[in-house]
Amino acid sequence: MASSKKDHIAQGALRAFAQYGFSETSMDSIAEMAQVAKGTLYYHFSTKEELFLYVIEKGVNMLIYHVDTAMQKDELSLEDRMMNVLDEHLRFFSENQELCFLLLSFFTGDEQRDQMVGKLLTGYFTTMETYMIDLQKQGYIRADAEIRTVASALFGMIGFTVLRKQFRKEPVNSEVGRNTLKYLLAGILQTK
């Protein structure tokens, strides 16, 4: 029961942080968004910073899990595996709009907090880079491609595409949009 209440509070906090930004979000606004008493909020999280880091860590771990699951489908061809990764990013970002916004604009102005968030995102990038290095060693990704840049570009390309489509109230996962992202991704792949 405690973890479900904690997760419920985290969902309210996520909405508040996405709507107001870190600096303008107060514990009062989080309690209001989560529809919990302030005492309940403080029972689970002693500070706004602790709650912010919990929200980001939970979201990044969820993204890592879903992307890692998509990458592990070894029975599929390389193109199909890469499309699974692309599709999983599209699905994840479209279903988690507030989290997508926070991950793509996490700089809060506090150097220590920003470094903590950066470290949390490192888990995602490590997962992606490990997968892509293996594909590069197998000859599926161009040898002259810098993997860190590829992983960052994939994250940004899909994340910002989803954000822009959401802002413009366009369908996020349209076939033409998906194919366009596929064409961009194809530039780093090699046929063996």
Q: Provide mean pLDDT across the span 125-145.
A: 89
- 61-70: per-residue pLDDT in tens? 998 898 888 8
What are the start-end ranges of the E strands in the chain?
Answer: none
The CA-to-CA distance between both ends of the chain, in Å, stands at 52
- 34-54: per-residue pLDDT in tens? 999 999 999 999 999 899 989
What pLDDT does 149 receive?
92
Comparing 174 with 54, the larger pLDDT belongs to: 54
Is-contact 172 165, C-beta < 8 A?
yes
What's the whole-number average pLDDT of the chain? Answer: 85
Q: Which H or E element spans position 89?
A: helix 78-95
Structure tokens of 84?
Answer: 């699974």
Please, which pLDDT band fits residue 191 given cuts at 50, 70 and 90?
A: low
CB-based burial label for 188 (10 Å; 0-12, 13-18, 19+): buried
CA distances from 148 to 26, 100, 155, 181 (A): 36, 20, 11, 18
The amino acid at residue 80 is D
Task: Give the DSSP per-residue string, 7-24.
Answer: HHHHHHHHHHHHHHHHHH
What pLDDT does 176 receive?
87
Comparing 122 with 117, the larger pLDDT belongs to: 122
